[in-house]
Amino acid sequence: MKFKSLLLAGSALLSATAASAGGYQVTLAGIKNNGMGGVGVGLSLDQAAMFYNPGALAMVRERGVQVGANFTFARNSFVAEGSNQQRELRNSVVTPVSLFAGFGPQEGKFRAGIAVYTPFGSKLQYADGWEGRTALTDIDLKSVFVQPTVSYAITDQLSIGAGLVVLAHGSVNLQRDIPLPDSYGHIELDGKAETKLGFNAGIFFKPSEKLSVGINYRSKIDAHVKDGDVTFSGIDSPVFAPRFPSGTKFSATLPLIATTSIGFGIMPTENLTIGIDASLANWSAYRTLRFDFTQDINGSKVSESKREYQDALTFRVGGQYKLTSGLTLRAGGSYDESPVKDGFVTPETPDNDRLGGTIGASYNFGKFGVDLSAQYVGIKKRTQTQQDLLTNGTTDRIAGTYKTNIVIPGIGLNYTF
């Protein structure tokens, strides 16, 4: 057995089945925005503008604090090529969370804030004994980003802002089975990512009370795991055990890609707000996944796997209507292109183009408010054949058909002052 396919789950190094964007990107930040299809670049709804467009924060008149949580329920099925048996993931729930706090003079042009959010994180557990067990059995990862932010209104119509993005915490656990002549062993990779820095910057322009425009750029961060632990189990044979030495460490780097977005806000009436966003994700930065090991594993210290991702577009539209002084209703939808090309699909990101629909509502009790959202994301069925894998030199993964549907309820609490 060659170990080049050591963990093609590695593209989930700081990500996995993404809840609301292509590849391994997740955009579950503001609960209000989630209810509107994920729009926000051209709007100044609340303190969550720090994530969508820091330039809009200075136009948010109220200071405030908000916390939110999403509960991601994914149903993923797989049918191997030439088989009729459908395999499904074991049940798991992921809870991306967020916190946004904005401050500044009530009548001033300056705003500052702090944002804490989890843009990468998921959990996949395939069925015991499934056909791709030697590619992947489990992924469990967590990440926390912290973003101190400043924003300034140059005029009553134009504002700018930027935030320092800190990958404050990242951890990953990847597992797969190892085929042996008469049984299977098991390998587990467990590591923590180093702290890394990036930035998030934007411009916001509101030429009239009925129109606003925003541009946002989030930089790439190279997430690096160093000295992660490699653990083997179920390899007791004196013939094979020396090929999988204990005490081995690994390192790997994954690009958390840059994204450029433009958004529009349309306010036909005082109570109705419509948002339209378009984003370009620079996935072409992700070409190869490489693992380096401190000891030879089955004769090699290096494991490489092709990714060859391509840049992808995302389109979002949504709206909100203030029904009463306390109640606001929301709805929206999204379309995400997949960056994963045919023949390059892996079990940890069984991705394809996806359609999403959302609803949401808020109710305010004076300075306190409750936000609710619900999303449904359908990822188109994706089939790759053994011939596709042979043609692309990607036989370190499995041929078959994937289908994924995701449901994401969310809740948030906010306080303005």
What confidence tens digit (pLDDT) does each residue in 179-225 have? 888 889 999 999 999 999 999 999 999 999 999 999 999 999 988 99
Q: 24 is written with which tokens?
A: 């391994």
Mean pLDDT of the chain: 88
Query: In this model, does residue 117 exceed pLDDT 60?
Result: yes
The CATH code of the domain that includes 67 is 2.40.160.60
Confirm whether 3 is domain-assigned: no
Of the two residues 30 and 1, the one the predictor is more confident about is 30
Say if 129 falls within a structural domain.
yes
> In the predicted model, what is the mean pLDDT of residues 55-83?
90
299-317: average pLDDT: 91
Q: Is the pLDDT of residue 90 over 90?
A: no
Q: How many CB atoms lie within 10 A of CB 3?
A: 21
Position 6 scores a pLDDT of 41
What would the two tokens of residue 282 be? Answer: 């620079």
pTM of the model: 0.88
Q: Which two tokens stand for residue 327?
A: 């109640």
Domain carrying residue 204: 8-416
Quick one: pLDDT at residue 126?
82
Looking at the DSSP bridge assignments, the partners of residue 166 are: 146, 197
Cβ distance 386 to 81 under 8 Å? yes
Is 70 part of any domain?
Answer: yes
Q: What is the pLDDT of residue 20?
A: 53
Residues paired with 187 in a beta bridge: 176, 232
Q: What is the structure's pLDDT at 25?
A: 61
Reported confidence tier of residue 304, pLDDT bands at 50, 70, 90: confident
Inform me whether the pLDDT recorded for 86 exceeds 70. yes
Q: What percentage of the chain exceeds 70 in pLDDT?
A: 92
In the three-class reduction of DSSP (H, G, I as helix; E, B as strand; rest coil), residue 51 is classed as helix
DSSP string, 272-313: EEEEEEEEEE-GGG--EEEEEEEEEETTEEEEEEE-----EE
Does residue 60 surpass a pLDDT of 90? yes
For residue 263, what are its two tokens? 């958004």
Residue 1: pLDDT band with limits 50, 70, 90? very low
Does the residue 366 lie in any domain? yes
Cα 241 to Cα 235: distance, rounded to the nearest angstrom: 6
**Is the pLDDT confidence value at 160 over 90?**
yes
Torsion of CA 21, 24, 30, 34, to 10 degrees: 30
**Mean pLDDT across 299-328:** 93
Note whether 280 and 311 are within 8 A (CB): yes
Tell me the C-alpha distance between 382 and 343, whole Å.
10
> For position 348, what pLDDT does the model report?
74
Q: CA 20, CA 43: separation in Å to the nearest integer?
A: 19
Structural domain tally of the chain?
A: 1
Residues ≥6 apart with Cβ < 8 Å to 362 = 32, 327, 328, 330, 369, 370, 371, 372
Selection from 114, 94, 95, 96 nearest residue 104 by Cα: 114
Spatial distance between the Cα atoms of 66 and 412, rounded to a whole number of angstroms: 7
Judged against a pLDDT cut of 90, whether residue 17 lies above it is answered with no
- Whether 172 and 141 have beta carbons less than 8 Å apart is answered as yes
Where is average pLDDT lowest: 12-21, 62-71, 125-134, 337-346?
A: 12-21
Of the two residues 380 and 197, the one the predictor is more confident about is: 197
What pLDDT score does 404 carry?
86
**Partners of residue 94 on adjacent β-strands:** 72
| 5 pLDDT more than 60 | no
For residues 11-30, give the mean pLDDT: 56
Confidence (pLDDT) at 55: 98
Identify residue 63 by its one-letter amino acid code.
R
User: Residue 87 has what pLDDT?
Assistant: 81
End-to-end CA distance of the chain: 63
Q: Is the pLDDT of residue 15 over 50?
A: no
Does the residue 2 lie in any domain? no
Nearest to 364 by CA among 405, 315, 316, 413: 413
